[in-house]
C-alpha cells in the first residue's frame, strides 16, 4: 500500500505539521510505503537550523530526518520553495525538490492520500 501525506501548513503554530509527521511515522511502522509531500508553507518543515526555543514545540526537522531514515521519501515542491524565499541550500539534505507534475504522479500512484 502507498500513502501520500501532503502538508500545506507551516511546521509551528498549530498541530497540522506534527500530525502529518505522526501519521507518516505510524504508517511506516505498519510497513506502508509513505511519501511526504510538502507544498505552500509546508516546505518550511525541511528548513535547516530550526530553533523552537522555549515555544513548547518539538523540532520537526529532526522528525523529517527520522522519517527519511525509516524509508520515507520527502518531496518539496520547487515553486513553493521559491515563493517562501528558500532555496535548496536552505533545506535539509536528501530532500527531493520536484515540480507539480511529479507531485501529481505521486498522488495518482498512492492508494490513499492525507492532506494537512
| Tens-binned pLDDT, residue by residue, of the chain (116 aa) | 999 999 999 998 889 999 999 999 999 999 999 999 999 999 999 999 887 778 777 789 989 999 999 999 999 999 999 999 999 999 999 999 999 999 999 999 999 999 99
pLDDT given at position 54: 82
- Count of CB atoms situated within 10 Å of the CB of 69: 10
Distance from CA of residue 67 to its chain's centroid? 9
pLDDT given at position 50: 83
What is the pTM assigned to this prediction?
Answer: 0.93
Cα dihedral sign for 74, 77, 83, 86?
Answer: positive
Domains of the chain: 2-115 (3.40.1260.10)
Do residues 74 and 95 make contact, with C-beta atoms less than 8 angstroms apart? yes
pLDDT given at position 75: 98
Amino acid at each position: 500500500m502507498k500513502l501520500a501525506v501532503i502538508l500545506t501548513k507551516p511546521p509551528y503554530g498549530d498541530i497540522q505539521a506534527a500530525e502529518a509527521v505522526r501519521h507518516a511515522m505510524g504508517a511506516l511502522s505498519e510497513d506502508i510505503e509513505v511519501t511526504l509531500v510538502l507544498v505552500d508553507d509546508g516546505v518550511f518543515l525541511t528548513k535547516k537550523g530550526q530553533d523552537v526555543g522555549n515555544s513548547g514545540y518539538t523540532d520537526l526537522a529532526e522528525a523529517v530526518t527520522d522519517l527519511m531514515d525509516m524509508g520515507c521519501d520527502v518531496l518539496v515542491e520547487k515553486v513553493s520553495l521559491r515563493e517562501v524565499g528558500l532555496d535548496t541550500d536552505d533545506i535539509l539534505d536528501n530532500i527531493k525538490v520536484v515540480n507539480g507534475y511529479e507531485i501529481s504522479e505521486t498522488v495518482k500512484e498512492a492508494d490513499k492520500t492525507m492532506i494537512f
